Structure 1
Amino acid sequence: MTSIRERNKELILRAASEVFADKGFAASKTSDIAAKAGLPKPNVYYYFKSKENLYREVLESIIEPLLAASAPFNQAGRPGEVLEAYIRSKIRISRELPFASKVFASEIMHGAPHLSSEQTEQLNAQAKHNIACIRRWIDQGLMAEVDPHHLLFSIWAATQTYADFDWQISTVTGKASLSDEDYEAAARTIIRLVIKGCEIDISAASPSERIGHA
């Protein structure tokens, strides 16, 4: 059973994600965060001590899922399987953590001033590992000679746009929010572009594995 402390912290963290995403770190006020959370302002300081600590907690809430999304690269698997799982995980993050994703994007665009050296190291190390995996598949003749760095950057851009540019997507599609079918269509489209563009042979995959590439 969730304790009152855990519930309040979650409310504040969720509200902070929205406020920071909307106004940025400097312009955000703890009073606005408290109001959105429906809690007294002192509660913000009681649980998080400062606005800076709260902002770092929001960043942490997105960094952990981003690192976890790369899990398919950390085990043996065919390129098609790994890239599909990775893309689906990234789409899921954009759908479930859109505000934290925007905060992270803003942080990166400003040179990551609030990321700790450990967090930066973790993110860079995982990216380099993923790139090394792609390079190995290329060397083994399992996919086309594409630039591994730019392939990864392209996947990031394609998947994170569903969180970071949600206003534009809503305007173009005419939908206030995307449905399950929309996110599935997005995932399938990106997967198809990557698999076809990288000339990955999925003929050896099982029927269930081929669904995303049909």
Structure 2
Amino acid sequence: MRQAPGDAPPEEDTTMSRIQLRNRGLILEAALEVFSKQGFRGATLDQIAVEAGLSKPNILYYFDGKEDIHVTLLDQLMDRWLAPLREIDPDGEPLEELMCYVHRKLEMSQEFPRESRLFANEILQGAPRIGPHLERDLQPLVDWASALIQRWVDAGALAPVDPRHLIFSIWATTQHYADFETQVGVLMDSAQVHSGAKAHLDVLFRRLLTP
């Protein structure tokens, strides 16, 4: 099976002590909570320190500042965010491969809503810190997936569709449930949101893609 573009994630630094790893993890978890609510501009090191239960000097022992923490989170996020697209199997059944991708992206909006909002906030600001990732990691992966989808369309395995707009539509319809979680919660019973979304998107994309 031909692999999608992208390098394996870097190995974890094993030179840190257990306490250092724990504190670093606390800081990143706290920062994810703060950044996902306040955005980069609204977040402060003081807020992250309070959320982590650590002092501000302790935060600065592990990271050079707010931007260093933010970039670290984005670096970690990109590999996780791109994994489902990399996992599409060129030798699999085309419709089912794409539906698995839709389902996994929807599951991620439920499992990782803060990460989704972190990414969305960065993009809305013009991607000042994640721009290199978009060019180095995202663009070749989307090029690869688009070419694969086009081959499936040309072979008659999928209905005619613009591959890039299809990918954009999948992102828009799945990540909406994380990025607009508060609005969705007001408009729907939260217990039924994701089960209903899965059923709706399954019908939507199967009808679109079935030859």
Q: Does 1:164 align with 2:179?
A: yes
Question: Under a length normalisation based on structure 2, what TM-score does the superposition of the two structures give?
Answer: 0.84
**Code of the aligned partner of 2:111:** E
**Code of the aligned partner of 2:85:** S
Q: Is the 8 A contact 2:86 2:141 kept in 1?
A: no
Equivalents in 1 of 2:143, 2:193: separation in Å? 31
Equivalents in 2 of 1:191, 1:174: separation in Å? 20
- Cα separation, partners in 2 of 1:71 and 1:187, compared to 1, 3 Å: farther
Which moves more between the two structures, 74-83 or 160-169?
Answer: 74-83
Equivalents in 2 of 1:57, 1:127: separation in Å? 23
Which moves more between the two structures, 66-75 or 152-161?
Answer: 66-75
- Alignment deviations for residues 121-142 of structure 1 (CA, whole Å, 9 cap, x no partner): 2011111111111111110001
Equivalents in 2 of 1:65, 1:188: separation in Å? 24
Paired residue for 1:183? 194
Equivalents in 1 of 2:26, 2:63: separation in Å? 12
Equivalents in 2 of 1:92, 1:4: separation in Å? 32
Question: Under a length normalisation based on structure 1, what TM-score does the superposition of the two structures give?
Answer: 0.83
Q: Does 1:196 align with 2:207?
A: yes
Equivalents in 1 of 2:72, 2:110: separation in Å? 19
- Cα separation, partners in 2 of 1:21 and 1:158, compared to 1, 3 Å: same
Gaps of 5+ in 2: 1-16
Q: Does 1:93 align with 2:104?
A: no
Paired residue for 1:50? 65
Q: How do 1:25-104 residues align onto structure 2 when only pairs under 5 Å count?
A: 25-104=40-119
Equivalents in 1 of 2:193, 2:41: separation in Å? 34
Q: Percent identity?
A: 37
Q: Is the 8 A contact 1:61 1:100 kept in 2?
A: no
**Code of the aligned partner of 2:196:** A
User: Superposition RMSD on alpha carbons, in Å?
Assistant: 1.9
Q: Is the 8 A contact 2:27 2:59 kept in 1?
A: yes
Q: Is the 8 A contact 1:62 1:97 kept in 2?
A: no
Return the offset for 1:160.
0.5
Equivalents in 2 of 1:88, 1:147: separation in Å? 20
* Structure 1 stretches of at least 4 aligned residues deviating more than 6 Å after TM superposition: none
Which moves more between the two structures, 7-16 or 143-152?
Answer: 7-16
Which moves more between the two structures, 117-126 or 158-167?
Answer: 117-126
Equivalents in 2 of 1:89, 1:38: separation in Å? 33
Q: Which has the higher contact order (CA 8 A, sep 6+)?
A: 2
Equivalents in 1 of 2:122, 2:183: separation in Å? 20
**Code of the aligned partner of 1:147:** D
Return the offset for 1:118.
4.4
Equivalents in 2 of 1:156, 1:79: separation in Å? 18
